[in-house]
Every structure is written in structure tokens, then in C-alpha cells.
Structure 1
Amino acid sequence: MKIRIAETVIEYPGDDLTAWKSGDKKKLLEGHNPPPDVFNQPAYHFGEYFVLNYFEKARWSGYRFYALGEWEPNNPKVLEGREKIKEMFTIQKLEEFRRQRVLSGHAAGQGEPDLFFYMESGPTLFLEVKKGGDKVSPAQLTCLAQIKAILEADVGIVYLVKYGQQYKPKTYELNLETFEGCLHVSPEEKSNVSNVSV
């Protein structure tokens, strides 16, 4: 079975990014207890925390740091998120997911989405966040397919743009049997490419 997921485009105010890079992170970190590396790397993690806040306003609860497997057992920053994962998914699903991660060569967490969201009523959601020239990797698409197929959670890709910036969202195709993913190109787009003369 194959599914398609289109990027969700979310706009951010340029002032928020400027403030974040200059060290003023309180607006996006309110209600969170981030690890020190969020403060030690001024240009990183803006997108993840912006999207975390965006979805929390829509009544989701979530984690920037978590682990779907038993990797990094002594890392305190993923402990709380890992415990919530164990609470939201059955041990059978988690064991099968971890088995497939090993078989796909991604046993140590490579490709895991940036954010994990949940509602106490049961829904779960994993999101990969992109901004600028950051592209979705094959390992990330594989993990999204495995999450959707095995854990039966919703998955998505968010692309952040500054207010007023033009961006055409991409669509990706995930194969839920082979756990592969690729950029989906519509027949119209294929036709446009083939009609371009060099």
C-alpha cells in the first residue's frame, strides 16, 4: 500500500527567528524545559520549537526530544519523551518497529522525525520539520513509512517559510510495505520536464 503526504506549509514571523538567533528564546520555550544544547547552538532548533508551539496551540501535547527505541538509554533529554512513547504504543508494536529499524539499517534512531505529538484521547502524530534548503532524506522517509505502517500513527512533513515568502509544497509517496519513500512527481510535472528544451 502506498500513501502520499503533502508538506504542510507554516509561516513564521521573521522577528521570531531574529530573536531566537540573538539568544531571546523565551517566547518559544515557554512551558518547556529544553536541554542546554538548545541554548548553546543559537541558530539551531528554531523550526522545531516554532512548530511545537504551533501544534500545542491546537491542543496537541508534544516532545522535541524523544526516542522510539532503546538507543541512548542514559541520555536524560529523551527520557520523558521515551516514557510517553511507551505509554502511547503497545509493546508489540514497538518491538516490531524496532525490529524493522534494525533490518533497514537505522537501529540507532537515524531518520526519526523531529517532533512527537499526542493527545490523551489517543491520537499520535510524528512530524519532520524543514526550513530553507533543508531536504527530506531517504532515511527520514523510511522512518515515516515505518511509523505509519507499524505504529499506525499519523505522520507529516512541515515546511516553514517566513511570512510572505512563496513556496510550493512538495508531495512525497510512502510505500507502507517496503518502507521506502520518494518525492512524488505528478504526470503534469513530468510532462513539463520532458517538454523543456535544452
Structure 2
Amino acid sequence: MPTFPQPWGSIDAYLSLLRRPRPLAVLDVPDISLVPDLPQRIHVLSRLSAVVVLVPDGADSVSLLRAGAANVLPRLTSPMELASRIAAERRWLAVLPPLHYASDARRRRSLTLNIKQGSQEILLELIQAARHPWCCHDLCLLLGDARNPLSRRALQARMTRLTRRMTECDMSFAITNQWGRTTFIGVNDRS
């Protein structure tokens, strides 16, 4: 499959990862000093996909591996070797169970919402595909851009609009507030 570079926060990239049973993301980090929260970003992205991180020489690969990276490779690796290493990662992924998979019934239900805004579509798919609750901080980090997370106020507004749309279709998700964190997880349809 061909790959296309996408910026951090790309809704199309996230939807592509969520819709594949064994996705792989390659995160290219040209300058680690510009991304002080890189381990947190890797941790969040690894909930959607296996993550291979390309970093400059001398980067602390241990902290990135502990954060959930499947592999950490030097950016200056030759293109042939890099392609071979990524192909090897894909072979390992092929033997693993699917990371996430939305059932056909659930996907048909989400399509009935007729969501036209990408931000609501990605929130719906993230929450439906999750095996564990999403923390508001992780969602803000994931849905922001490369420099800044999404504000909690913006996330709250998006979730409020999405909740109204879901209620119209007898769908819902559970929201829990505790110690300054709000978590979201999909719940079974009210049939």
C-alpha cells in the first residue's frame, strides 16, 4: 500500500488507521527539541496503530519505546534499509490480532448519523473503536496540531454536539468526570 505523509492531527490519517485491522504509523520527528511531549504523543498514537518513530541520531529511544513505540529508527537510515525495517514491522503486525475493529452493525449505526464534520466523525470512530476509555487530555493531544493540543473547551463543545447527534440515533457513550479528567467510552446501543 502506498503511504502519504500527513501532519499531526490529520483526521483523514486517523480515520485510515482506525479502519484498518492492523495499522502502522511512521512518525517522522526531525527535531526532538521541538516536540517536548513526544512520549505522550507516541502513547496516544499507539492506541490507534503500531508506531515506528524516525528520530535524529542521539535521541533517547528507551523513553519512546516505553511510551509505546513499536520501533525507533534513526532518520538518517538509508531508504532501502528503512523500507526493509518497515516491511519487517508489517510482517510482525500480520501475525497479531487486530488492534481495533468496529463491527459491521456498529459501523452501519455510525453511518446513520450522517456526520458531515470530520472532527465529529473522528471522535465518534475513536470512541467506538476504543477498548479502554479515552481521557480528555489524550483526545486534546491527538486532535490538536503538531505544536498545540486542542483546547479542552473546544473538545467539550465537539463532544456536546456529537452527544446530541448520537442521542437522535439512540446511540451513546459514557462520560466520567474524576480528578480533573473527563473520560469517554462507547456503550452498547440502546436496542
Same fold (TM over 0.5): no
Per the normalisation by structure 2, the TM-score is 0.30
Higher relative contact order (CA 8 A, sep 6+): 1
Name the one with the larger strand percent: 1
The answer to which structure has the higher helix fraction is 2
